[in-house]
Amino acid sequence: MLPITIELSSKSMVIFEEEEQLLMENILGGTDQLGVIAIVGMPGHGKTTLAKKLYHHENIVNRFDVRSWYTYVSKVYDRRKILLELLGYEYERRVEIEKSEDELIQQVQRSRIIITTRLDELVNSSVNYSFCYTHRLSFIAEDRSWLLLRDIVFKEENSYCSQELEEIGKQIAKSCAGLPLAIVLIGGLLARLDKKKGYWTKVAQWLSASAKVAGEAEWYMDIIELSYKHLPSYLKLCFRYFGMFLEDEEVSVKKLMRIWAAEGFVQSNEARSAEIVAMDYLIDLITSNLVMVAERFPLGDMKSVCLHYLVQDFCLNKAKEENFLLKVDRSHAFVPATSNSASSDVQRFLVCSKMQHFIKWLHPTQRVHTLRLHAHNIKFILPCGAFTSDLFKLSLTVLDLRNTVIDASALEDITFLIHLRYLSILGNFSEIPPAISNLTNLETFVARPKIGNLTLPGSIWDMINLKHVDTSEAMIHINSTVEVEKKGVFELEKLESFSKVVIVNGDDICEMCNKAPNLVQLELIVEQFV
* Domain at 88, CATH number: 3.40.50.300
The reported pLDDT for the residue numbered 181 is 94
Of 167, 195, 229, the position where a domain reaches its end is: 229
Q: Is residue 292 part of a domain?
A: yes
The reported pLDDT for the residue numbered 75 is 59
Summarised one tens digit per residue, pLDDT across range 480-494 is 544 444 444 457 889
* Domain at 188, CATH number: 1.10.8
Q: Is residue 7 part of a domain?
A: no
Summarised one tens digit per residue, pLDDT across range 277-287 is 999 999 999 99
What count of other Cβ atoms lies within 10 Å of the Cβ of residue 131? 16
The reported pLDDT for the residue numbered 488 is 45
**Same structural domain for residues 423 and 497?**
yes
Q: Is residue 315 part of a domain?
A: no
**Same structural domain for residues 358 and 507?**
yes
Mean pLDDT across the chain: 82
Q: Is residue 9 part of a domain?
A: no
**Same structural domain for residues 103 and 118?**
yes
The reported pLDDT for the residue numbered 338 is 53
Of 260, 282, 310, the position where a domain reaches its end is: 310
| Whole-angstrom distance, CA of residue 258 vs CA of residue 9 | 29
Q: 0.75 cut: is pTM over it? A: yes
Enclosing domain of residue 36: 17-136
Q: Is residue 28 part of a domain?
A: yes
**Same structural domain for residues 330 and 408?**
yes
**Same structural domain for residues 409 and 387?**
yes
The reported pLDDT for the residue numbered 526 is 77
Q: Is residue 12 part of a domain?
A: no
**Same structural domain for residues 452 and 348?**
yes
**Same structural domain for residues 41 and 57?**
yes
**Same structural domain for residues 493 and 348?**
yes
* Domain at 490, CATH number: 3.80.10.10
> With a cut of 50, which residues of the chain have pLDDT below it?
1-13, 89-97, 334, 340, 481-489
Q: Are 461 and 493 in contact (CB under 8 A)?
A: no
**Same structural domain for residues 284 and 364?**
no
Q: Is residue 468 part of a domain?
A: yes
The reported pLDDT for the residue numbered 343 is 65
**Same structural domain for residues 482 and 406?**
yes
The reply to whether omega before 320 is within 30° of 0 (cis) is no
| Whole-angstrom distance, CA of residue 207 vs CA of residue 329 | 36
**Same structural domain for residues 153 and 125?**
no
* Domain at 291, CATH number: 1.10.10
Q: How many domains does the chain have?
A: 4
- What's the 3-state SS for 468-518? EEEEEEEEECCCCCHHHHHHCCCCCCCCCEEEEEEECCHHHHHHHHHHCCC
Q: Is residue 4 part of a domain?
A: no
**Same structural domain for residues 246 and 210?**
no
Of 85, 104, 136, the position where a domain reaches its end is: 136
